[in-house]
Structure 1
């Protein structure tokens, strides 16, 4: 398994090496020793979640206030355009975003440190995204920023087909910056 750093500090992309044969394929999607070698304590993860989205569905941009949450994200079925925004005050990359393609061909696992906003858009007819999260969900700590906020300038590859009421009502990047101090 190769590990690649991102332009956003602390963001890592774990790249498995799927083995293909006439039966199909086998791949290791997570390795606790590899994670530990890169400073991730896998014993901290508390919750596994999964979402299923149809082509064009956009989820995000979401984060958590307070101590936030770290997570490992992968696309188990289909493909997604995955976006992270650095919302860590004091970070040299505060306000910048990074884009990743997660899919069921490469099986990349994206480590998202606490303090980043996360969102994705489904690129295939169906896309299943799996999350391993290191904090129990606290709805009072939820943060959301509009996916199309002009200050962030994120290019989404498809027209948005469906957006949740929560994401439609999300605040601006400027409002979050003010709230973060």
Structure 2
């Protein structure tokens, strides 16, 4: 695997190294030793898949607070998405900055999303499928979200929004995250 740090400290793009032969290719998409060697959390507690019918569908911006903060490894396995993360760590030099990247079934790229980063994406194709590996179990009491169009971040989505959940349109404007003491 090839690890490339994004402009947001601790968030990485992960590309596969294909071993090709006449049958096609083989590649590793996850390895605890390689993740640990890059200072990344190598725990997987849960895996999920999201299927999206229409291009322009938006999911996000979601995160979990302590004691249930989670790392995500996100990969698009069918179609294409524009994936966005926001650094919500007040002590970080990239606090409140965002980063967006195209993840596609063709580029087979994954995005490593550290704890206390909000995450969301917009589908660029119909029938887009996204696979998530998470370091913690989903904990509804610790789930939080940000508005996809919050002016505090200025995210420019590539397409008009065609589908979005009611919950994702109702998040409050950004306020600094308060961690329990």
C-alpha separation between the residues in 2 aligned to 1:146 and 1:20? 43
| Contact 1:69–1:135 under 8 Å retained in 2 | yes
For the residue of structure 2 that corresponds to 1:60, the secondary structure is: strand
| Contact 2:41–2:71 under 8 Å retained in 1 | no
- Report what 2:33 is aligned to: 33
C-alpha separation between the residues in 2 aligned to 1:20 and 1:122? 29
Structure with the higher fraction of residues in helix conformation: 1
Residues 122-161 of structure 1 aligned to structure 2 (within 5 Å): 122-161=123-162
- Report what 1:82 is aligned to: 83
C-alpha separation between the residues in 2 aligned to 1:84 and 1:158? 17
Residues 101-180 of structure 1 aligned to structure 2 (within 5 Å): 101-173=102-174, 176-177=175-176, 179-180=177-178
Query: Which ranges of structure 1 fall in alignment gaps of 5 or more residues?
Result: none
For the residue of structure 1 that corresponds to 2:40, the secondary structure is: coil
Query: Which ranges of structure 2 fall in alignment gaps of 5 or more residues?
Result: none
Structure 1 2/81 Cα, relative in aligned 2: closer, same or farther at 3 Å?
A: same
The two structures have a TM-score, normalised by structure 2, of 0.90
4+ runs deviating over 3 angstroms:
18-27
C-alpha separation between the residues in 1 aligned to 2:115 and 2:10? 9
Deviation at 1:91?
1.3
C-alpha separation between the residues in 1 aligned to 2:114 and 2:17? 23
The two structures have a TM-score, normalised by structure 1, of 0.90
Deviations 1:111-144 (A, max 9, x none): 1110100000000111111111111111111111
For the residue of structure 1 that corresponds to 2:34, the secondary structure is: helix
| Contact 1:89–1:180 under 8 Å retained in 2 | no
Deviation at 1:19?
5.1
Structure 1 40/90 Cα, relative in aligned 2: closer, same or farther at 3 Å?
A: closer
For the residue of structure 2 that corresponds to 1:180, the secondary structure is: coil
Deviations 1:46-98 (A, max 9, x none): 00011011211000000111141111111111111000001111211111001
| Contact 2:86–2:118 under 8 Å retained in 1 | yes
